[in-house]
């Protein structure tokens, strides 16, 4: 059977790639980067055969013509390569991916969308770049819709994670599995609710999300300008509370959040914490080691990282 050997949750920001030199909170940025290096070392030491990669979509792989709540990559996977993140084909463990999809659906617990030609964006490729650099390991990508409402509830995310946990355990081959969650913590992107845009910038963004599948580059310059003009909205108090939940093995409390409650407390970007919740659920909510937390306004985001290591879990007598 497959064995889960490590879980990692880490924030992402493409501004880390594109605006490193312009970052004035350099010490904070360096501490976060160093923590990613430390997490990468932990992943390498775990000797994974496969990484299950939970990430969000930023309207590079999915557009408003079709937005499933959850999509599992079961074949080809291509990274869009925006803002200095990896571009091109990614190595997928197709056998495990198809086992997970089949087991979750056939068990009757979840109707999971799948893609045999999946495109991912920095919601996952940022983790490939910084957490899997130099580690030759295939992935199983799962894209969670966190930016195009209505969003899957946190409770529903937990239910899928538990179904995936059992599907991993039922895999007949021996595999060492690492689970990575990419996204969060608190931040607010200048992105509208597509159902009710206000003003020229929001109308532009919604049009890009509708029409960008074939001509994304036509929208990219203005889209980037809108993002760069945004003011940071980081909530260190919220982030500290969430990281404490992970550290004390109480991350399941995230499942009680509603979409509106979370946005009010921590911004629309905090909806990415769905992936952290799912990672923790797959690892049975064992206590996490907090590697770092830095509020970096230039990146618009509270940047954190945690590691969940089953080998460090106390043995129950």
Note whether residue 203 is domain-resident.
Answer: no
Of the listed ranges 69-78, 162-171, 199-208, the one predicted with least confidence: 199-208
- Among 172, 175, 161, 166, smallest CA distance to 103 is for 166
Q: Rounded mean pLDDT of the chain? A: 94
First to last CA, the chain: 24
| Count of structural domains, the chain | 1
Note whether residue 214 is domain-resident.
Answer: no
Q: Which of 12, 58, 99, 122 is catalytic?
A: 122
- Band the pLDDT of 60: cuts 50, 70, 90: confident
Note whether residue 209 is domain-resident.
Answer: no
pLDDT at 316 over 80: no
Q: Are 153 and 164 in contact (CB under 8 A)?
A: no
pLDDT at 216 over 60: yes
- Among 66, 46, 68, smallest CA distance to 56 is for 68
Helices assigned H by DSSP within 107-228: 122-131, 154-169, 199-215, 217-228
pLDDT at 299 over 50: yes
The alpha carbon dihedral of 60, 65, 69, 71 has a sign of negative
Concerning whether 122 is annotated as a catalytic residue, the answer is yes
pLDDT at 104 over 60: yes
- Among 11, 7, 8, 5, smallest CA distance to 304 is for 11
Q: HEC profile for 64-123?
A: CCCCCCEEEEEEEEEEECHHHCCEEECCECHHHHHHHHHHHHHCCCCCCEEEEEEEECHH
Note whether residue 197 is domain-resident.
Answer: no
Q: What is d(CA 31, CA 178) in angstroms, rounded to the nearest whole number?
A: 23
Q: What is the pLDDT of residue 81?
A: 87
What is the DSSP secondary-structure string of 10-77? E---THHHHSTTT-S-HHHHHHHHHHHHHHHHHHHHT--SEEEEEEE--SSS--TT---SEEEEEEEE
pLDDT at 223 over 90: no
Q: Which residues contact 300 (CB under 8 A, 6 or more apart)?
A: 13, 15, 187, 188, 189, 227, 230, 232, 233, 234, 269
Q: In the chain, what percentage of residues exceed pLDDT 90?
A: 83
Q: What is d(CA 128, CA 124) in angstroms, rounded to the nearest whole number?
A: 7
Lookup result for tokens 């929001």 = 202
Note whether residue 130 is domain-resident.
Answer: yes
C-beta atoms surrounding 95 within 10 Å: 16
Domain range for 275: 2-189+230-311
Lookup result for tokens 């990692």 = 8
- Band the pLDDT of 42: cuts 50, 70, 90: very high
- Distance from chain centroid for Cα 260: 19
**pLDDT digit string, tens, across residues 130-165:** 999 999 999 999 999 999 999 999 999 999 999 999
Q: Which of 12, 58, 126, 187 is catalytic?
A: 187
Q: What is the pLDDT of residue 82?
A: 86
pLDDT, average across residues 246-257: 97
C-beta atoms surrounding 94 within 10 Å: 16
Q: Which tokens sit at 304? A: 């954190």
CATH number, domain of 297, equals 3.40.830.10
pLDDT at 315 over 80: no
Note whether residue 73 is domain-resident.
Answer: yes
- Among 12, 259, 13, 232, smallest CA distance to 148 is for 259
Note whether residue 176 is domain-resident.
Answer: yes
The per-residue b/e assignment along 288-298, b for 16 or more CB within 10 angstroms, e otherwise, is bebbbbbbbbb
Concerning whether 19 is annotated as a catalytic residue, the answer is no
**pLDDT digit string, tens, across residues 261-291:** 999 999 999 999 999 999 999 999 999 999 9
Q: What is the pLDDT of residue 312?
A: 84
Q: Are 225 and 307 in contact (CB under 8 A)?
A: no
Note whether residue 216 is domain-resident.
Answer: no
pTM for the complete prediction? Answer: 0.96
Phi and psi of 53, rounded to 5°?
Answer: -110, 110
């Amino acid at each position: 059977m497959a064995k889960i050997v490590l879980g990692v949750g880490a924030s992402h920001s493409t501004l880390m790639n594109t605006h490193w030199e312009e970052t004035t909170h350099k010490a904070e940025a360096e501490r976060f980067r160093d923590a990613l290096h430390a997490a990468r070392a932990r992943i390498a030491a775990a000797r994974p055969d496969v990484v299950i990669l939970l990430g969000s979509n930023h309207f590079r792989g999915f557009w408003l013509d079709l937005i499933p709540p959850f999509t599992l990559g079961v074949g080809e996977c291509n990274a869009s390569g925006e803002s200095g993140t990896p571009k091109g084909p990614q190595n997928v463990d197709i056998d495990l991916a198809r086992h997970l999809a089949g087991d979750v659906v056939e068990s009757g617990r979840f109707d999971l969308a799948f893609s045999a030609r999946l495109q991912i964006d920095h919601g996952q490729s940022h983790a490939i770049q910084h957490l899997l650099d130099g580690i030759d390991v295939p992935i199983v990508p799962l894209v969670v819709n966190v930016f195009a409402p209505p969003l899957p509830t946190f409770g529903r995310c937990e239910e899928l994670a538990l179904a995936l946990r059992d599907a991993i355990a039922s895999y007949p081959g021996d595999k060492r599995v690492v689970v990575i969650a990419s996204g969060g913590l608190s931040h607010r992107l200048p992105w509208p609710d597509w159902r009710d845009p206000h003003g020229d910038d929001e109308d532009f963004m919604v049009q890009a999300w509708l029409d960008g599948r074939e001509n994304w580059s036509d929208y990219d310059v203005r889209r980037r300008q809108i993002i760069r003009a945004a003011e940071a909205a980081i909530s260190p108090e919220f982030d500290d509370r969430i990281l404490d939940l992970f550290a004390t093995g109480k991350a399941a409390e995230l499942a009680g959040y509603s979409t509106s409650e979370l946005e009010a407390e921590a911004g629309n970007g905090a909806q990415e914490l769905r992936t952290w919740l799912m990672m923790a659920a797959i690892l049975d909510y064992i206590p996490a080691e907090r590697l770092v937390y830095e509020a970096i306004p230039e990146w618009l985001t509270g940047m954190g990282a945690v590691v969940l290591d089953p080998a460090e879990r106390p043995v129950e007598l």
